[in-house]
Structure 1
Amino acid sequence: MCKDDFSCVAVCPVKCIYKVSEAPAEFKAKKGWYRFGKALSPEEQKAYEEWKTKFGVTAPPV
């Protein structure tokens, strides 16, 4: 699992423009730019909430 801005991912499978840490607030609030492939475990949910808070992500996942 990548932490923070997913900089450990060498190639993005979608049309990425910004790392989360560098994205303008308008994009962090836009729906549909990230999703989960499974239900999150309690530990993953905690990491997700910390990530959202740290980077000011306000949009929910798809």
Structure 2
Amino acid sequence: MTTDSVSIYQFRTLAGAKRYAAAMGDVGPAEQVGPFVVSWAGRRGADLPAKPVRAKLLRDVRALVKAG
């Protein structure tokens, strides 16, 4: 899933998600949440959502994955 401010990728394995998150970290913030990677890659400065906004999204994604 991709929006104008974030992309969320789903992987078949945790290892695949971990590798992708590590690779994307070179181009922008990316966090692994289970088999998903939440990425703000390529976004810098004003295009990057504020840290509290990113933290809330990560909490929401973690809650969805946990409830899954």
The higher-RCO structure (CA 8 Å, 6+ apart) is 1
What's the TM-score bracket when you normalise by the shorter of the two chains? Answer: 0.3 to 0.5
Give the structure with the larger helix fraction: 2
